[in-house]
Amino acid sequence: MSRLVISGVVVLVIIITTTIVLMNMGENTLGPSAGPSAGVSVSQSDSSSARTSSSSSSSSSRQATTTAAASASAHPTQTCSSVEECSALIPEDAGVEEEPAGHVTDVVVPDTDETPGDGTATGMLKCVNTRRRSEMGWRGKGRWKTESQARSQCADFEYMSLECPNEHGFEVYCANDISKAQTLLNRECKGDVEGTQLGGGTNSHCYGPYEWGAVHGGGANRGAVYKI
């Protein structure tokens, strides 16, 4: 009887011992396998995220550098440290073509309350810019010294223009159409050109005299127009 009890106890101890050993072996097998795998997965994810972030940062840096370079080229004396600042330095009209400049001989008509002409039937109709006289079909008739001589030269025309006077007389031009001639101040055909734009405010070699009897002699590219 005692042998049977002892044998049963031994068998029970063996079973318990075997169970404990098997359990320990199972833990050692599962633990290390799961650990490194999870660790590798997390490491790969972190590495991918880091590469994406680095790539995005590099792209933004290149974009900011390109924008800054373009801005610096257009505005060499201005600097910027961010995309927003660089964008603000670019002119609003960048890439917009400017309108072509006016005719090189055009001048701006000065503001004035002066009425063109002398206000009489035989007086000066107006003072005009004659730089484009050839385009308007005017005819040159040489240099003369009296009103009657000038009128006789333009007998077959509607108007005569007197300009560029000197001691030898004034130049005479005949015209049928004066509508395209730019109107100037009356005083510009009377020798007073100070502060005007045509000819830089001078009469150049057309130094006068500017009064020839009852008519004005005009000036440098300034024609005193009279009706024939």
- pLDDT confidence of residue 84: 61
* Cα of 176 vs its chain's centroid, Å: 42
- pLDDT confidence of residue 149: 97
Sorted by where each begins, the domain ranges of the chain are 2-64, 126-227
DSSP track, 157-195: SSEEEEEEEETTEEEEEEES--TTSEE--GGGGTT--TT
Residues 147, 213: contact at Cβ < 8 Å?
Answer: yes
Q: Which of 228, 225, 226 is nearest to 129 (CA)?
A: 225
What is the residue-level pLDDT of the chain in tens, covering all 228 positions? Answer: 566 667 777 777 788 887 787 777 765 555 444 444 444 343 444 444 445 444 454 455 455 445 444 444 444 455 666 656 655 555 554 444 443 343 434 444 444 444 455 555 568 999 999 999 999 999 999 999 999 999 999 999 999 999 999 999 999 999 999 999 999 999 999 999 999 999 999 999 999 999 999 999 999 999 999 999
- pLDDT confidence of residue 108: 42
